[in-house]
Every structure is written in C-alpha cells, then in structure tokens.
Amino acid sequence: MSDSRGKFGEYGGQYVAETVMSSLKELERAYLFYKEDGAFQAELKGLLDDYAGRPSRLYFAEKMTKDLGGAKIYLKREDLNHTGSHKINNVLGQALLAKKMGKTRVIAETGAGQHGVASATAAALMGLKCEVFMGKEDTERQALNVFRMELLGAKVHPVTSGTMTLKDAVNETLREWASRLDDTHYIVGSAVGPHPFPVMVRDFQKVISEEIKAQMLEMEGRLPDAVIACVGGGSNAIGAFYDFVEDKEVRLIGCEAAGLGVDHPKNAATMANGTVGILHGMKSYFCQDVYGQIAPVYSISAGLDYPGVGPEHAYLADTHRAEYVPVTDDEAVDAFNYLSRTEGIIPAIESAHAIAHARKIAGAMGKDKIIVVNLSGRGDKDVASIARYMGVDIHE
C-alpha cells in the first residue's frame, strides 16, 4: 500500500528537519529487519497475548442490535486490552524495537493520555526511561492519566506552546527528539508522522483487522458488511481497516470529530474541512487557513482533537476505498450514554464517535447485514469530563 519512500499516492513522505533524517533511516532499517525476524515477531506476539491480553474479543451486541432493529452489531473489544485501549499494540511493538536498537529512553506525545499511559507501561516493562509530552490543556482535561503515567515511572511535560493540545505535543516531542537522538526513540502514537511511522504503526495495529476477520469467519462464516472506527490520527481505524482493504465488499467507515458541528468553527473534522498540506513530517489533509496556518481544532475528545489525519487514510479517502463521516460532540456523548446503558460498556469518548455512527446507519440496513464497530478504548478516563459536559457536579 505504500512505496519504498513511504508514500501512499501523494501522501506521506519525510518532511522533517535534516537533523532527524539519519535517525529515521536507522529506524527504517531496523524496522524492515525485525519485521522479517522470526524471534522478534515471536517475542512481540508473546507480549501481545500474555501481557496485553490479545486476542481481544469480538462481542455480539445483542441488545444494541435489537434496539436499533437492523444490522447485527459486533464490538471489537480493544477496550479490554491492558491499559484500556488499542494503543498498547503499537507501543509494545515500538518499545521492543527501540530496545533491540539499543535505545534506553523513549519519548511520546499524547492527547487523551492513552498513548502516554501505554508508552509509560511498556517502558516500565522493558526497563526504558520514558518522558511524555502532553498539551497543558489536556493535562487538565485528563489529570488522572497524568498521575497514572507518573505512577508508572514516566515524566510528564505539560506543553504550553500553540493551542496546548495534541498537535503542539507532537511539535514538542519532535523538538525533543531532534535534541537527543542517540539514546532516544520517539514512540509516535498514531498512524501519522514521517515515514516509516505511518507504515510501522499500521503494521503494529493491523492485528485488529486480522483478528476481526478470523473471528467473524468463525462466528458468522462471512465477512462483515461494514467496519466502523473513530479517526483522529487514525491508528485504531487503520488497524481495523487494513486487512479488509482488498475485500471491496466490506465498507470501511471512519468517524471524525465534528465538535460543535462540521460547519461550526469549533471542530476537528479534517476530511470534511481540511485541505492537502504538510505538517508533522507528512503530506496529508489538515485543517488550515489559506496561508497554511494550522487551525486550532476542537473536540470533546482529546484523542481526536488533531488537525490532521494519517496519510494512508488520506489515500483511502481519495481512492474512495474508505468513507469518512463527521460526528459531533452531542452525538458522541449520546452514544457514550447509550452504550453504557444498553450494553453495560462505558466506551472511550473517542470510540463513542464510532458507536454514534453505527446507531445512525444500522436501522436502515437489513437484519442480515453485519457491522463491526472498533471499540478502541474504555471510558473510565472520560467519566469526569462527561459529567462536566452533562452539568453533573461530582466530587472525587
């Protein structure tokens, strides 16, 4: 799906400072080597199975299916992974790779804190030093995750530049990496950034779609009609889509954060509102003005509050292999409540965007149809902010 220089059509590439180019080359060489290395792959599989709890379950949401009255809904339970989201898949892969490369320190950006927590976890397990960069606004929205990272032995740096959210955390982590390359690996948290990150992160996340396919064939004897996932940078979505890309009969639907509305200034709907640009090492779609200044985007979900999208998604959108739809804060919060009450599963507010879209389309689909929703994370981290959103005063 990508050429040797990491381009997906015109998207992707290596738009970074010369200072980090040698490290990207070193990483690419190591990745290509260990990708084919049986011992590495066996060690990683051991970690994914025994430590992270893979394979994750594919759960038939019977009550939700009955309630919506259409397509059968299955939930891919990435929320049940260790650390509570799909992020651990990528982090275990990259941390193991970093260790094999002789790195002793990892750095990471984080939005909601899920990737930071996963990075801190993997670093603790593998004996690596870990420092996490997180927008100051996000450290406040997700204070519990900050403490969680500190419990795991990581140092958290609140980022005060720019809009103080995920994009600025990425800028700051890139700056930190450029200043200390020898002993440090940057664990990029989503399918974004310069080559080889989008390819590598996708490869570490594609286990999601491989498992869905096998589980679906076993449970239903056929492929699903649609796979739905939320998209910020797009790592859980590319993981859930990838093994189905060649199966043209499977609709692939990415749900991006429309915040207060896709036509309202406060949104993060990159595919709906973005144009092609260059940021964070890649060419892709970005929310920006006519002069290329990156827009201060907004979503209730810190994890989807990103003005860009991974280059492979840009390519899947252009080639019409995947569709991307906007979901508002209100719709996501409704879905958050809905899944909690209907299935007894509190989803991450990010994943609730995908649930919201399933609710929109399931009823109009026949009962013989099947939708798989990638439930990318659990919602424990969001309980306090949802309470605030709903105007409920809780004292912790």
Partner 1 sequence: MNRISNAFGKKSEDKKALISFIMGGDPDIETTEKLIIAMEESGVDLFEIGIPFSDPAADGIVIQQASVRALSRGCTADDLLNMVKRLREKVTAPIVFLTYANSIFAYGKERFMERCKDCGVDGVIVPDIPYEEKDELAEVCEKYNIAQIAIIAPTSNERIETIATHAEGFLYCVSTLGVTGIRDEIRTNMTEIVNKVRKVSSIPCAVGFGISTPEQARDMASVSDGAIIGTALVKIIAEYGRDSVEPIKQFIARMRDAVK
Q: Which residue has the tokens 């396919």?
A: 213
The smaller minimum CB distance to partner 1, of residues 182 and 396, is found at: 182
CA distances from 177 to 34, 95, 109, 197 (A): 22, 15, 11, 14
- Which residue stretch of 14-22, 47-55, 314-322, 365-373 sits at the interface with partner 1 (rule: CB under 8 A)? 14-22
Beta-sheet strand order (sheet of 72-77) = 58-60, 72-77, 370-375, 226-231, 251-259, 322-328
| CB of 384 vs partner 1, minimal distance in Å | 30
Q: Which stretch binds partner 1 (CB under 8 A): 10-18, 127-135, 335-343, 379-387?
A: 10-18
Q: Which residues inside 264-303 make contact with partner 1, applying CB under 8 A?
A: 275-281, 283, 286, 288-294
Place of tokens 């080889």: 196
Task: Name the active-site residue from 78, 109, 211, 256.
Answer: 109
Considering 7, 72, 87, 381, which one is annotated as catalytic? 87
| Closest separation in Å from C-beta 125 to partner 1 | 29
Q: Which residues contact 135 (CB under 8 A, 6 or more apart)?
A: 111, 158, 159, 163, 164, 165, 166, 168, 169
Find the catalytic residue in 23, 85, 119, 376. Answer: 376
**C-beta of 155 vs 175, nearer to partner 1:** 175
Matching residue, tokens 């400072």: 17
Q: Is 3 in the site for partner 1 (CB under 8 A)?
A: no
> If binding means CB under 8 A, how many residues of this protein chain bind partner 1?
40
Per CB under 8 A, the segment of 19-27, 146-154, 197-205, 325-333 that binds partner 1 is 19-27
Confirm whether 87 is a catalytic residue.
yes
Start-end of H helices in the chain: 18-35, 38-46, 62-68, 87-100, 114-126, 136-141, 143-151, 166-179, 197-205, 207-220, 235-241, 270-273, 311-318, 329-343, 349-362, 383-389
Binding segment toward partner 1, per CB under 8 A, in 18-26, 57-65, 126-134, 200-208: 18-26
Give min distance, CB of 286 to partner 1, in A. 8
Choices 68-76, 138-146, 160-168, 212-220; region in contact with partner 1 by CB under 8 A: 160-168
Whether 218 sits among the annotated catalytic residues: the reply is no
326 cis-preceded (ω within 30 degrees of 0)? no
Instruction: Compute the least distance from the CB of residue 48 to partner 1, in Å.
Output: 32
Choices 29-37, 57-65, 159-167, 372-380; region in contact with partner 1 by CB under 8 A: 159-167
**Nearest CB to partner 1, comparing residues 4 and 394:** 4
Which of these, 182, 216, 180, 186, lies nearest to 201 by C-alpha position?
186
Among residue numbers 178 through 197, which ones bind partner 1 (CB under 8 A)? 178-181
Among 92, 127, 117, 365, smallest CA distance to 228 is for 365
* Stretch 228-267: interaction string toward partner 1, x if CB under 8 A: ----------------------------------------
Per-residue CA distances from 364 to 69, 71, 75, 113, 220 (Å): 8, 8, 19, 36, 21
Nearer to partner 1 by C-beta: 291 or 392?
291
Alpha helices in 180-305 (DSSP H): 197-205, 207-220, 235-241, 270-273
Is residue 2 flagged as an active site residue? no
Does the footprint of partner 1 cover residue 29 (CB under 8 A)? no
Pairing of strands 11-15, 281-286: antiparallel
> What does 319-385 look like in DSSP terms, one character per residue?
TTSEEEEEEEHHHHHHHHHHHHHHHS--B-HHHHHHHHHHHHHHTTS-TT-EEEEEE-BBSGGGHHH
CA-wise closest residue to 132 among 183, 180, 189: 189
Nearer to partner 1, 66 or 180 (CB): 180
Determine which residue in the list 53, 70, 158, 162 makes contact with partner 1, applying CB under 8 A: 162
Quote the least distance from Cβ 122 to partner 1, whole Å: 25
Q: How far is the CB of 164 from partner 1 (least distance, A)?
A: 12
Q: Smallest distance, Å, CB 20 to partner 1?
A: 8
Q: Assess 15 for contact with partner 1 (CB under 8 A).
A: yes
What distance in Å separates the CA atoms of residue 90 and residue 203, rounded to the nearest whole number? 8
Closest residue by Cα to residue 199 from 173, 229, 234: 234
Closer to partner 1 by Cβ: residue 53 or 277: 277
Which residues in this chain contact partner 1 in the complex, by CB under 8 A?
Answer: 5, 13-23, 161-162, 167-168, 170-171, 174-175, 178-181, 275-281, 283, 286, 288-294
Known catalytic residues are: 87, 109, 376
